[in-house]
Amino acid sequence: MIFSPPSKQRIDFLGQAANAYQQQLTAGTPAAELLKRRGLSQDSAQYFRLGYVADPASGHERYRGMLAIPYVNMQGVVAIRFRCTGDHDCKALGHSKYMREPGDEAKIYNILALTLNVSRIAVAEGEPDTWTGWQCEIPTIGVAGVQNWNRLFNRHLRGYKEVVILADGDDAGMQLADTIVKANKNATVRQMPSRSDTNAFYCEHGAEALREKAGF
């Protein structure tokens, strides 16, 4: 499978929608409270262009009330993923925690980190863990779980002295780590404690502890 970039018209639409949702991410909204609980700074939220869907763009009505997570590359916003902002068990209520638009294929998150002149890069599972690594001054890209890891993504990891996988402390986290390690000899694994992840570790122990855990 080869990534087919969206048309300029589509990129323009997504960019305008992302800008609007970013303006709608104001203090007290469910999305702002979610990011606050995650320990995300305002600067980090702005860097990642995170937003809140209070007034949906045409075609985005189903995402009303959700956190908007733009996927940005050199061309602009090429996709927006959406996350439920409710403080509840989404599966128990019969809906998905994350949603993407129909036809949107899995992509590397924060792919612009690959343009940095660094010898080591970290890979996190999911967008919140990517925000966390980045906020802690760890150059981090993300992928939404092992099922979204395309083997073609491995080409982006070539040339690094070390690829550090910030693995969740569960079986799914290790499945993703194992998948990447098998294809990349320069990859090593830093697994979080049982039933924890990068963001939870940061919230409990702080940035310095996470950097030490990750080896950065």
* Residue-wise pLDDT tens digits, 102-155: 989 899 999 999 999 999 999 999 999 999 999 999 999 999 999 999 999 999
| CATH number of the domain within which 40 lies | 3.90.980.10
Same domain as 93, residue 46: yes
Segments forming the whole domain that contains residue 65: 8-100
Same domain as 205, residue 125: yes
Average pLDDT over residues 25-48: 96
Same domain as 84, residue 176: no
Whether the model clears a pTM of 0.75, i.e. scores above it, the answer is: yes
What's the pLDDT band for 215 if we cut at 50, 70, 90? very high
Q: Does residue 1 register a pLDDT over 50?
A: no
Please give the Cα distance from 97 to 84 (Å, whole number): 5
Same domain as 179, residue 132: yes
Same domain as 121, residue 62: no
pLDDT tens sequence across 193-204: 999 999 999 999
Same domain as 148, residue 191: yes
Same domain as 88, residue 116: no
Q: Is the dihedral of CA 208, 109, 48, 62 positive or negative?
A: negative
Same domain as 123, residue 79: no
Helix axes 198-205, 207-214, angle to 10 degrees: 130
Please give the Cα distance from 31 to 44 (Å, whole number): 14
Please give the Cα distance from 156 to 147 (Å, whole number): 18
Query: Which residue bears the tokens 């612009």?
Result: 112
* Residue 185 domain flag: yes
Please give the Cα distance from 114 to 121 (Å, whole number): 8
Domain termination residue (choose one: 72, 100, 128)? 100
Same domain as 180, residue 130: yes
Name the phi and psi angles at 3, rounded to 5: -65, 125
**H/E element holding 99?**
strand 98-100
Same domain as 194, residue 133: yes
Domain termination residue (choose one: 57, 81, 100)? 100
**What's the number of domains the chain is made of?**
2
